[in-house]
Structure 1
Amino acid sequence: MRSVVTGAAGFIGSHLCEHLLSCGDEVLGVDALTDFYEPARKRENLSRLLGSERFTLLRADLLKVPLETVFAGTDAVYHLAGQPGVRGSWGTEFGVYLERNVLVTQRVLETARDIGLRRLVFASSSSVYGNAETYPTVETVRPSPVSPYGVTKLAAEHLCETYRTAFGVPVVSLRLFSVYGPRQRPDMAFARLVAAAFTHRPFPLYGDGEQSRDFTYVGDVVTAMRQAALSPWSGVANLGGGSEVTMNQVIALLGRLATPPRIVRGPSRPGDAQRTAADITLAQESFGYRPGTNLRTGLGAMVETQRTARMTSAA
């Protein structure tokens, strides 16, 4: 199977490329290596991939590169590229989110329609729900994002559904719930928390710590993405980790896996939902999604990765 992964150098994208290669796929990774966080980290994410004969990296801007050529002969396109982060989406940076999350997705969809793409998997976000009306949240609940980032992800998702219903583009939009694991983006909570435990620097916790998330391990997410690509089902589905955990519980667990981090508490930030919890019945029934990694195992993998990196740098 020949696959294209946009955002291939990112946290989830690099894990997805590795998973696809392990399944025997030929993978073309596309990434602009933007500076949302250090491009050096993204290059490090790619280091495990560049040695494979079945992986090719194309550094390109998706708004400029001829996508018809990039997608030609492809069995599946996994569209993960975009501008992440809730807090950065307020203010003058909104135009960047609009361009990278909405305009790029529309161009991908136009190309998918024009060339008759066989399969498109789009990485949406639980941020589209905001503070949801019910928990666990099913896909039929009315989305109500509480951040500009969530607004752009919902707009991109609506575009996917519009092209699916109007032109028959075979697209699956997966609403990802708080994905974590090794190589997580440095701005994300788990990455900052694990780093704080090893550097003895304070970890700023916004809110009382009772805000809860449906944390989902990256290995389970990328496995589900390929399952969705192989399935004939199209539509919108949640990908959650199967359990809801508060930040206070995460901090306590980390204290048992590594040095307890020093917590500095502050007020909640605009755009942060109080709670997320996914009903994953639709993904289970449609393409066999079964999250298999519990929080202790997944967080433990992040701790071991950080410990190994520090030992290597000290050697």
Structure 2
Amino acid sequence: MTTLVTGAAGFIGTHVVQHLLDTGRDVVATDLVPADDATGLRGVIDDPRLTYVPGDLAGQLDALLPHVEQVWHLAANTDIPAGATDTGVDVRSTTGLTHQLLEALRRHPGRDLVLTSTSAVYGERTGSASETSGPLLPRSLYGAGKLAAEGLTSAYCATFGLRARIFRLGNVLGGGMRRGIVLDFLRKLGEDPRTLHVLGDGEQRKSYVLVDDVVAGMRHVTETTSGPEHPACDVYNLAAGGSVSTREVARLVAAELGLDGVDVVAEQGGLSWPGDQPVVELVVDKARATGWAPTCTAPGSVSESARRLLAEQAVTA
């Protein structure tokens, strides 16, 4: 099978490409950046089973889709706070791009879609969120853009006979990250090992999950629910289960640095940025029912991510 991966040079995208190659697939990978700048793919860029196509995705779809059997769509805006200053970025880079892909899939039928979404679609909740939780009222424009992409995908499946699996991901961690809480804390503690300033009140809780578990989960669920007895379009949460507070993330990262007694200082009350969710805790029973299970707990995902990032820093130092 040949699979098209969009957003292939991003954090999750690079792991998807590696995983699919490891499982014997041929991969056509696309991203805006040229191959020389796709640093996360350097280990596989010369693999003969990988074709890397840089440039704007929308203009390439009609040429690429006839040569693939499946599409993993990860290309989107990934800077969540950015929508507060550029209110069109999620419309252009997430919802609009997904619409262009769906139109191309309508012109080239028979290719299943794997769509990455986010826990941000659930908005503010006092408890855990399952796939049937509602109403869905995102707090961020990022979450709104992802939810709109989900809605378009569902409608195209019902109207034009497409098939899709939508995955609402927790906060994904691992090696190769270029932003995020674990990398931020490692950098700050490297500068000041005694005091760590955090955004918000430090009590925000997120559903952290290791990128390996996310990628394996998407492939497993997609493969085990591909038969005609399953819905044409369906949605699954993917996370490690449970949640971890910002203060606990700080403790776990400090422990990987061999630090004890770090003073965690909350710089402000409330949320980290406009649109942030105070609590995210995903229920993953539906994905587990297919036979998938995460290999790492939420706290373990934080610790393992810190270890991998530290190892990468040691290699590049």
TM-score by length of 1: 0.89
Consecutive aligned runs of 4 or more in structure 1 exceeding 2 Å deviation: 136-141, 194-204, 259-265, 294-314
Identical aligned pairs, as a percentage? 28
Distance change >3 Å, CA 108–CA 228, structure 1 → 2: farther
Equivalent of 2:43 in 44, 48, 59: 48
Distance 2:291 2:161 in 1: 23
Task: String of CA shifts for 1:139-193, please: whole Å, max 9, x gaps.
Answer: 342211001111111111110111111112101111011111111232x112212
**Is 1:158 aligned to 2:151, yes or no?**
yes
Q: Which runs of 5+ in 1 are unaligned?
A: none
User: What amino acid maps onto 2:12 in structure 1?
Assistant: I
Distance 2:133 2:298 in 1: 27
What's the offset of the Cα at 1:136? 4.0
For residue 33 of structure 1, give the secondary structure of its aligned residue in structure 2: coil
| Structure 2 match to 1:124 | 117
What's the offset of the Cα at 1:308? 2.9
**Is 1:256 aligned to 2:220, yes or no?**
no
For residue 61 of structure 1, give the secondary structure of its aligned residue in structure 2: coil
**2:243/2:281 contact within 8 Å kept:** yes
**1:132/1:143 contact within 8 Å kept:** no
User: What amino acid maps onto 1:127 in structure 2?
Assistant: A
| Structure 1 match to 2:287 | 283
Distance 1:300 1:279 in 2: 21
Equivalent of 1:270 in 266, 274, 278: 274
What's the offset of the Cα at 1:244? 1.3
Root-mean-square deviation over aligned CA pairs: 2.2
Distance 1:279 1:100 in 2: 28
Equivalent of 2:97 in 90, 104, 114: 104
What's the offset of the Cα at 1:134? 4.1
| Structure 2 match to 1:16 | 16
Equivalent of 1:58 in 45, 50, 53: 53
**1:192/1:203 contact within 8 Å kept:** no
User: What amino acid maps onto 1:191 in structure 2?
Assistant: L
For residue 169 of structure 1, give the secondary structure of its aligned residue in structure 2: coil
User: What amino acid maps onto 2:294 in structure 1?
Assistant: P
For residue 281 of structure 2, give the secondary structure of its aligned residue in structure 1: coil
**1:181/1:217 contact within 8 Å kept:** yes
| Structure 2 match to 1:312 | 315
User: What amino acid maps onto 1:238 in structure 2?
Assistant: N
Distance change >3 Å, CA 172–CA 61, structure 1 → 2: same
What's the offset of the Cα at 1:21? 0.6
User: What amino acid maps onto 1:60 in structure 2?
Assistant: G
Count of matched residue pairs: 305
**Is 1:226 aligned to 2:201, yes or no?**
no
**1:197/1:262 contact within 8 Å kept:** no
Distance change >3 Å, CA 45–CA 215, structure 1 → 2: same
For residue 116 of structure 1, give the secondary structure of its aligned residue in structure 2: coil
TM-score by length of 2: 0.89
Distance 2:126 2:313 in 1: 43
Distance 1:235 1:53 in 2: 33
**2:243/2:298 contact within 8 Å kept:** no
